[in-house]
Amino acid sequence: MTAPGTLEVRGLAFAYPDGRQALFGVDLTVAAGERVAILGPNGAGKTTFVLHLNGTLGGGAGRVTVDGLTVGKPTLKEVRRRVCIVFQDPDDQLFMPTVRDDVAFGPVNLGLRGAELDDRVNRALALTGMSGAADRAPHHLSFGQRRRVAASTVLSMDPTILVLDEPSSNLDPVARREFADIVRSLGLTTLIVTHDLLYALQLCPRSVIMNAGRIVADGPTAEILRDADLLAANRLELPFGFVMPQVG
């Protein structure tokens, strides 16, 4: 029995129906409780990769295993409960009339009802500090609040692996830091898809670089960010004026 929160990807390849190949044999192993950043330029295949983790995309070569379950049709329901994705645009994720309804959407699909459902919803909202907004309409919240609610909508499914797609985009500095604090406090296995290198450094001890549908580097985040040539070769760069402290 594997510990909850383990992910194993072997030889994952995928081409879109129009023939464009997005993934060329991706291998990745993530241990329970690890936080890993998936870095890479636009169009590297990061989002395509992420959509394989819960079986939204599939049908190519390779295998994804979540907590020992191979992702496939028979395991789809359980995999989608375990692997939860917070998408980049909260407006894509929040579609119900109130925050409470939206946070309840996943657990209702899992068959929860009544007091158990209410309890899940309240706990998930408390985890992101959004309990006060339960009865508000999602489109009347600020962007930072909407991202936190979006996280609640998946935390209510009691996941073992959390996937965040560009979690820092469009957030002001304080909202960025608050969201990072929330992610850290959860203690879940977390994959963070981003090209915000400093956010990766802040949140993830380990990073992988994905480019042109392959994983081209895997190591401690600080080490990867110190390798200027590696970053340049993959269209990544640190913000202007920022220099990684050298190990002394």
Partner 1 sequence: MGGGHGHSHVLFVHVNSGVHRLAPECKVVATVLFVLAVVATPRAAFWAFGLDAAALIAVALVARVPLLGWGRRCLIEVPFLMFAVFLPFLGTAPTIEVGPLTLSEPGLWGAWNIAVKGTLGVAASALLTATTTVPDLLRALERLRVPRPLVAIATFMIRYGEVLSADLARMRIARISRGDDPRWIWQVRALARTAGALFVRAYERGERVYVAMLARGYGFGSDVPVLERAPGRSWATALTLPVAAGLVCAAAVVVAA
Nearer to partner 1, 154 or 209 (CB): 154
Residue 2, both tokens: 């594997």
Smallest distance from the beta carbon of 137 to partner 1, in angstroms? 5
Q: Where are the alpha helices (DSSP H) in 71-172?
A: 76-82, 90-93, 99-109, 114-127, 143-155
Nearer to partner 1, 145 or 189 (CB): 145
Smallest distance from the beta carbon of 65 to partner 1, in angstroms? 18
Nearer to partner 1, 59 or 245 (CB): 59
CA-derived radius of gyration, the chain: 18
CB 191 within 8 A of CB 207: no
Greatest extent of the chain over all pairs of C-alpha atoms, in Å:
57
Binding site for partner 1 (CB under 8 A): 51, 54, 56, 76-77, 80-81, 84-85, 87, 89, 91-98, 101, 105-106, 108-111, 113, 136-146, 153-154, 157, 170
Smallest distance from the beta carbon of 241 to partner 1, in angstroms? 25
Nearer to partner 1, 5 or 159 (CB): 159
Task: Tell me the C-alpha to C-alpha distance, in Å, between residue 57 and each of 25, 92, 101, 244.
Answer: 15, 18, 27, 37
Nearer to partner 1, 31 or 110 (CB): 110
Nearer to partner 1, 69 or 96 (CB): 96
Smallest distance from the beta carbon of 113 to partner 1, in angstroms? 6
From the number of C-beta atoms within 10 Å of its C-beta (0-12, 13-18, 19+), residue 78 rates as middle
C-alpha triplet 240, 243, 248: angle, nearest 5°: 180
Smallest distance from the beta carbon of 185 to partner 1, in angstroms? 22
Residue 25, both tokens: 């044999």
CA distance 99 to 184: 23
Smallest distance from the beta carbon of 131 to partner 1, in angstroms? 17
